[in-house]
Amino acid sequence: MSQPTIESILQEKRLFHPPAEFSQNAHIKSLDEYKQLYEKAQADPEGFWAELAEKELHWFEKWHQVLDWQPPFAKWFVGGKINISYNCLDRHLTTWRRNKAALIWEGEPGDSRTLTYAELHREVCQMANVIKQLGVQKGDRVGIYMPMIPEAAIAMLACARIGAPHTVVFGGFSAEALKDRLEDAEAKLVITADGGWRKDAIVPLKEQVDKALQAGASSVDNVLVVKRTAQDIHMEPGRDHWWHDLQQGASGKCPAEPMDSEDMLFILYTSGTTGKPKGVVHTTGGYNLYSHITLKWAFDLQETDVYWCTADVGWITGHSYIVYGPLSNGATTLMYEGVPRPSNPGCLWDVVEKYGVNIFYTAPTAIRALMKMGEHHPNARDLSSLRLLGTVGEPINPEAWIWYHRVIGGNRCPIVDTWWQTETGGFMITPLPGATPTKPGSATLPFPGIIADVVDADGEPVTNQSGGYLVVKHPWPGMMRTVYKDPDRFRRTYWEHLRPANGEYIYFAGDGAHQDEDGYFWVMGRVDDVINVSGHRLGTMEIESALVSHPMVAEAAVVGKPDEVKGEEIVAFVTLEGENQPTEALEKELKQHVVNEIGAIARPGEIRFTDDLPKTRSGKIMRRLLRNLAAGQEISGDTSTLQDRSVLEKLRGGA
């Protein structure tokens, strides 16, 4: 099993100290220094964040109040005027960084581009002017549906520059999923490309946009199309525009709009426990500070580093740690379009060698897949430039951690296991690599200013090691502000599950965790109906509603089953409408149906047809039992609330 269990990780006693030479040059050099920062922040959180905001960012106008906390709604740096595109670009242009590589890009077919800060600034300004010319004004939402090409980052920065909140939709999502998100955000413009390269094939992005706009999303009146893959595509006259046409003649100057600190910067949709994805809202000032300082300290970002995060810009990791965090710090950020594939299993290590990458950040599922491909791929490349490794997305099993450390890190690079979420904006629990001794499988200690805890169902702290719910007890600058157009859902989902006796509002993350004798956090995975497939977060209800939208399906229940590489795999239990009979063809069709409704990341690994689903007397599907069945385990725990015991027998027989 790849997911660590309490038993397996309680036996994990190995401790890795930061190498002395690493600590010497690091921003935070010792555990004592970390503790001092932590205590300082705890004693005076507002003073702590205000001092950093002043020192690390450019403000057009200073705030008059650091924090306005009306639980669960927070405002940070109230009254401050700021622009994150300015902080990521303009302020570097008056220094030697003007001609430093801001963005290094490697395409899947092997083409590449490097943009200096001056060049990136110019293109961002051009795109900002084009967007304005297409009628987008401050406050209007813009959808971005792009492959991993520089224009994805350029589009985000261009939107931020003119104060148009973006909503990036991962290029692997289907037309249907894209339509839903564009509709919820009421986007006016979509920025896309003809296609992107993925595993030696073209992903036809523009075609998906066409389908989405045919099906709905009537708020969209223009589409800006970047030429990437150059196959023939349909261009709707009056609606669709080539970027290279409009770029010609667009001015390379566009002043950054002074934004209110609390103006919305972006919406990013993520899966929750209901069928409908939530629009997570992040605002400008607090998010800028938080993505900036967490990256600087947890990845010990230095001026000459080449930093590479392998995420897609469609996820929060791409927002905070490919685009905004690195550029705000004036770092060199690397973006790669490809993924390891049969035709090039060693491609990641070629990129490390080619650009002398110093910091590398990826997900446990990728590490496990790379382990399977064999050590000979990394061993055949020069990886000596690497000095720090990071991981995110799910609990990392100690075997994968040790392999990463030994084979990729040459036993010399610290590993930062960063626990955070779309909602948190940036790292919450993470080692600081020059300071924190690491334990394989633990995200270690909270970032300074973050008060994390493990509590029971009553919201009271759990003191023993049996574990409980992971929570955060004080607002932080990078936190989500609300669910777009649904503040009630924000309150219900994150703040009203657990209410301690003292009445405090605490943030419920949806993860289980426990703390060991050193105060280290061990995150165990989701405690709600969210599953984690290859580091992608999917709501079981979302997949279920996709399945029942098929005319032959009566009912569906989706659970995760442990998978060696992906972490979890999707298993769907399905009952059919009327006289319909299960066939192999139907199984295929249903899998494809889910792909059409959501995207390939949600394709069920297995569909099990059944006449009935196990339910409680009140009609609730007992997913716990289905999880046991899917994993091939004995049914554990109480089954006394089961309505009809024969259902289990049948499911067992049929399974």
* Options 395, 398, 467, 560; binder of ligand WT7; rule CB under 6 A: 395
Q: Under DSSP, is residue 321 helix (H, G, I), strand (E, B) or coil? A: helix
By CB under 6 A, tell whether 387 contacts ligand WT7. Answer: no
Q: Which stretch binds ligand WT7 (CB under 6 A): 26-34, 135-143, 397-405, 521-529?
A: 521-529
In the complex, what is the shortest distance from the CB of residue 54 to ligand WT7, in angstroms, rounded to a whole number? 27
Secondary structure element (H or E) that encloses residue 606, with its range: strand 606-609
439 binds ligand WT7 (CB under 6 A): no
> Per CB under 6 A, which region of 43-51, 126-134, 416-424, 498-506 contacts ligand WT7?
416-424
Q: What is the closest distance, in whole angstroms, from the C-beta atom of residue 312 to ligand WT7 in the complex?
A: 11
Residue 420 sits in the site that holds ligand WT7 (CB under 6 A): yes
DSSP secondary structure letter of residue 361? E
Rg (CA), the chain: 24
Stretch that binds ligand WT7, among 78-86, 484-492, 504-512, 600-608 (CB under 6 A): 504-512
CB 152 → ligand WT7: shortest distance, Å? 17
- Using the minimum distance from each CB to ligand WT7, give the nearer residue, 337 or 568: 568
Among 274, 421, 596, 643, indicate the residue that binds ligand WT7 (CB under 6 A): 421
- Residue 459, CA distances (Å) to 161, 455, 528 in order: 41, 5, 16
Shortest gap between Cβ of 494 and ligand WT7 (angstroms)?
11
Q: Is the CA virtual torsion 200, 205, 210, 214 positive or negative?
A: positive
Report 522-561 residues binding ligand WT7 (CB under 6 A).
523, 525-526, 532, 537
Which residue in the set 510, 539, 604, 614 belongs to the binding site for ligand WT7 (CB under 6 A)? Answer: 510
562 closest CA partner among 631, 481, 492, 629: 631
Size of the site for ligand WT7 (CB under 6 A): 22
392 near ligand WT7, rule: CB under 6 A = yes
Q: What angle do CA 422, 426, 430 make, to 5 degrees?
A: 115
Stretch that binds ligand WT7, among 195-203, 297-305, 414-422, 452-460 (CB under 6 A): 414-422
Give me the torsion for CA of 368, 341, 374, 630, rounded to 10°.
Answer: 40
By CB under 6 A, the residues from 177 to 206 that bind ligand WT7 are none
**Residues written for the chain:** 655
Which positions from 278 through 317 interact with ligand WT7, judged by CB under 6 A? 316-317
**Interacting span for ligand WT7 (CB under 6 A) from 159-167, 322-330, 518-526, 592-600:** 518-526
CB of 408 to ligand WT7, least distance (A): 17
For residues 600 and 606, is the Cβ–Cβ distance under 8 A?
Answer: no
Q: Which pair of structure tokens corresponds to residue 175?
A: 């037309």
Give Cα 341 distance to the centre of its chain. Answer: 22
Spatial CA neighbour of 566 closest among 592, 600, 609, 596:
600
Instruction: State the sign of the Cα–Cα–Cα–Cα dihedral 51, 57, 61, 65.
Output: negative
CA 513 to chain centre: 20
User: Strand, coil or helix: what is 502?
Assistant: coil
Rounded least distance, CB 535 to ligand WT7, Å: 6
Cβ closest to ligand WT7, residue 129 vs residue 418: 418
User: Per CB under 6 A, does 442 bind ligand WT7?
Assistant: no
**Measured between alpha carbons, how far is residue 218 from residues 14, 103, 222, 269 in Å?**
56, 34, 10, 19
* The pairing of beta strand 332-336 with beta strand 306-309: parallel
When the beta carbons of 195 and 449 are compared against ligand WT7, the nearer one is 449
**Residue ranges binding ligand WT7 (CB under 6 A):** 270, 316-317, 392-395, 417-422, 443, 509-511, 523, 525-526, 532, 537
